[in-house]
Amino acid sequence: MAEKPQTTEISYLPPSAPPTNHGHTVAAWFTMIGIIVGAIVAGVAVALPLVWLFWVGMGIVVLALIGGAVLRNMGYGQPKPGVTPRTSTQH
């Protein structure tokens, strides 16, 4: 077989998008785990007809939402547009 001559093609890539973490942050994990735990507690309460336990589960969900917002404002969440993200000072 005859070999094909190799051609060199130049590829131009588009400018890269800024890096994102898709919500993989301390604030996001804290919030989602809290919501899941609260929903499980509330679901068990519905299955066992315990009204007080249902409201405990809803309280856990509310605390998780508040805690996630606090963590985001402390710099442990996805940065808001136009805000400089938290940087580490450790070497």
| Domain extent at residue 54 | 26-76
The pLDDT tens digits of the residues spanning 40-49 come to 999 999 999 9
Q: What is the pTM of this model?
A: 0.66
What contacts 24+ positions apart, CB below 8 Å, involve 19-26?
20/78, 21/78, 23/78, 25/72, 25/76, 25/77, 25/78, 26/71, 26/76, 26/77
Convert the pLDDT of each residue in 27-62 to its tens digit.
Answer: 999 999 999 999 999 999 999 999 999 999 999 999
Please state the domain count of the chain: 1
The number of angstroms, rounded, from the C-alpha of 4 to the middle of its chain's C-alpha atoms is 50
Task: Report if residue 86 sits inside a domain.
Answer: no
**How many CB atoms within 10 Å of residue 27?**
20
d(CA 52, CA 62): 15
pLDDT for position 56:
98
Is 53 domain-assigned? yes
